[in-house]
Amino acid sequence: MNPSATASLSARLSAAPGEPRLLAGWNATGRPADLSDHLGRYGPAPVPAGRGRRTSVPLVEAVEAAGLTGRGGAGFPTARKLRAVAERRGRAVVVVNAMESEPASRKDQFLVAVAPHLVLDGAVLAAAAVGADTVHVCLPRDRTAPYQQLSAALDERRRARLDPVRLRLHALPHAYVSSESTSLVRWLNGGPARPQGSPPRTHERGVDRRPTLVDNAETLAHLALIARYGPDWYRQAGTPEEPGTTLVTVSGAVAAPGVLEVALGTPITTLLDRAAGPTDPLQAVLLGGFAGTWLPAARLDTPLARRDLAPLGAAPGAGVLVALPRAACGLGETARMLAYLAAHSARQCGPCHFGLPAVAEDFTTLATGRADPGLPARLRRRTGLLPDRGACRHPDGAARLAASALSVFADDVDHHLTHGPCPAAHQPPRVPVPPATPPETWR
């Protein structure tokens, strides 16, 4: 999907009819919700009037009962994050992560565009739950439309004197690793938007050395609905182990690429059908984004749920599905993604400074058919050395992508080694990958 697809605001709501979900307002009206629309649909958020007091509704317990997990990619239980910050001493801080640095994802941009007040409600409710007096909302500075949309929403809320906490909007440098939670905290503290690998953790000492909750924009929007409707309502969608809905960006070889809201546990083939179906026979789907995995076409009946995807070495990740047709070269697509990931590493530790560029270079050599027979073994060795050794999880995601490509496109690997690049290698790229150039600034 190219960036202009966001402007079209194409989305579909797949929750049960009549149930409010993240995109319910857009589904009903076809227009972004201003504050009047938002309050008319949901009413005011159940936030206590007193600044800094814990909410009268046991929100942490409700979120825990609902089973909400983070929608930024890691899938960490949201209630555990809330509780970890709430139990620290001192006034806390909340950070809304709307950076969405995954190039193949548009879900958070879309959510901010059509339901900004649902995100901001969730941030204010989270602030009340952990005892915070300030909410920092972080977006990339090269996306002016989301910034303007959230700025207008904040102005509406200030004029209405709606929130008992201070909300501040920030535009950060746009790099792949700048959306990592410690990158946001580091930048808000005056440093570069690079991951901070050493302790303390953000919930212990984050922004201004205060306990800090960092949550993805979509996660906070779900939290706002749980606070209104409760965990039993939330669990009406999804599976018992993984309840709720999630936003998914579907692109590639489908007839109607866009952002979908679907129940967790929906088969991947169903998601493709809801994007009007594949335009060509598929060989694989990229699941989770550039830090995700390739799934072969034979496994696309797998439900979009961690429990079902784990045996395949996959996870929903950032909610990305890129359909790859048979006419495309999976090795070439992967090589371009790895080159981008290498260029956007923070270069703060060995795996990113040396290992990731070496893997990207090897993959490019393989994709162009200039490889020696020992290259696949070298690639597998190098990808095995990347995980769990960096200051952040950036090398881990790149290694996962490379390893899955070597497995799913094994026949192509053999062809490239023995006969040179396959005919598909000369086709136009199918996965939109930004230029593999380092960020201009980290500050």
Q: Residue 226 above 60 pLDDT?
A: yes
Residue 439 lies in a domain: no
Residue 162 lies in a domain: yes
Radius of gyration of the chain (CA): 21
Going by C-alpha positions, the residue among 99, 127, 73 that lies closest to residue 400 is: 73
Q: pLDDT over 70 for what percent of the chain?
A: 93
Are 82 and 142 in a shared domain?
yes
DSSP 3-state assignment of 436?
A: coil
Residue 23 lies in a domain: yes
Going by C-alpha positions, the residue among 441, 410, 382, 420 that lies closest to residue 142 is: 441
Burial of 436 (0-12, 13-18, 19+ CB in 10 A): middle
Are 403 and 301 in a shared domain?
no
Tokens matching residue 396:
């881990």
Looking up residue 310, the CATH number of its domain turns out to be 3.10.20.600
**Which pLDDT value is given to residue 47?**
81
Lowest mean pLDDT among 14-23, 70-79, 420-429: 14-23
Phi and psi torsions of 22, nearest 5°: -55, -40
For residue 30, the number of C-alpha atoms closer than 13 Å in the C-beta half-sphere is 1
Q: Residue 20 above 80 pLDDT?
A: no
Determine the Cα–Cα distance for residues 105 and 5; give it in Å rounded to an integer. Answer: 11
* pLDDT level of residue 412 (50, 70, 90 thresholds): very high
Report the 10 Å Cβ neighbour count for 159.
9
* pLDDT level of residue 50 (50, 70, 90 thresholds): low
**Which pLDDT value is given to residue 172?**
97
Are 300 and 338 in a shared domain?
no
Q: Choose one of 307, 325, 343: the last residue of a domain.
A: 325
Report the 10 Å Cβ neighbour count for 77.
14
Are 303 and 334 in a shared domain?
no
Burial of 49 (0-12, 13-18, 19+ CB in 10 A): exposed
Determine the Cα–Cα distance for residues 46 and 156; give it in Å rounded to an integer. Answer: 18
Question: Do the Cβ atoms of 136 and 188 come closer than 8 Å?
Answer: yes
Are 350 and 280 in a shared domain?
no
Determine the Cα–Cα distance for residues 146 and 179; give it in Å rounded to an integer. Answer: 15
Are 186 and 158 in a shared domain?
yes
Q: What is the mean pLDDT of the chain?
A: 91
Tokens matching residue 86:
């709430």
Q: Compute the average pLDDT of residues 354-361.
A: 92
Question: Do the Cβ atoms of 252 and 322 come closer than 8 Å?
Answer: yes
Are 95 and 219 in a shared domain?
yes
Residue 39 lies in a domain: yes
Q: What single DSSP character describes residue 318?
A: T
Tokens matching residue 214:
């960092």
Q: What is the pTM of this model?
A: 0.93
Q: Compute the average pLDDT of residues 271-275.
A: 97
Q: Choose one of 281, 308, 325: the last residue of a domain.
A: 325
Determine the Cα–Cα distance for residues 310 and 330; give it in Å rounded to an integer. Answer: 22
Are 228 and 274 in a shared domain?
no
DSSP 3-state assignment of 363?
A: helix
DSSP 3-state assignment of 326?
A: coil
Domain with 353 in it: 330-426
Residue 443 lies in a domain: no
**Which pLDDT value is given to residue 360?**
95
DSSP 3-state assignment of 92?
A: strand
Residue 389 lies in a domain: yes
Are 138 and 187 in a shared domain?
yes
Q: Compute the average pLDDT of residues 173-198.
A: 94
Report the 10 Å Cβ neighbour count for 304.
25
Tokens matching residue 345:
């590493």
Are 83 and 190 in a shared domain?
yes
Tokens 């090589």 found at: 335
DSSP secondary structure letters along 124-177: HHHHHHHTEEEEEEEEETT-HHHHHHHHHHHHHHHHTT--SSEEEEEEE---GG
Going by C-alpha positions, the residue among 121, 182, 169 that lies closest to residue 143 is: 169
**Which pLDDT value is given to residue 49?**
57
Phi and psi torsions of 161, nearest 5°: 50, 50
Residue 318 lies in a domain: yes
Are 32 and 177 in a shared domain?
yes
Looking up residue 383, the CATH number of its domain turns out to be 1.20.1440.230
Q: Choose one of 291, 325, 359: the last residue of a domain.
A: 325
Are 321 and 334 in a shared domain?
no
In the chain, the number of structural domains is: 3
Q: Residue 2 above 60 pLDDT?
A: no
Determine the Cα–Cα distance for residues 313 and 397; give it in Å rounded to an integer. Answer: 12
Q: Compute the average pLDDT of residues 244-254.
A: 96
Looking up residue 192, the CATH number of its domain turns out to be 3.40.50.11540
Give the contacts of 297 (CB within 8 A, at least 6 positions apart).
Answer: 281, 282, 283, 284, 285
Q: Residue 57 above 70 pLDDT?
A: no
Residue 434 lies in a domain: no
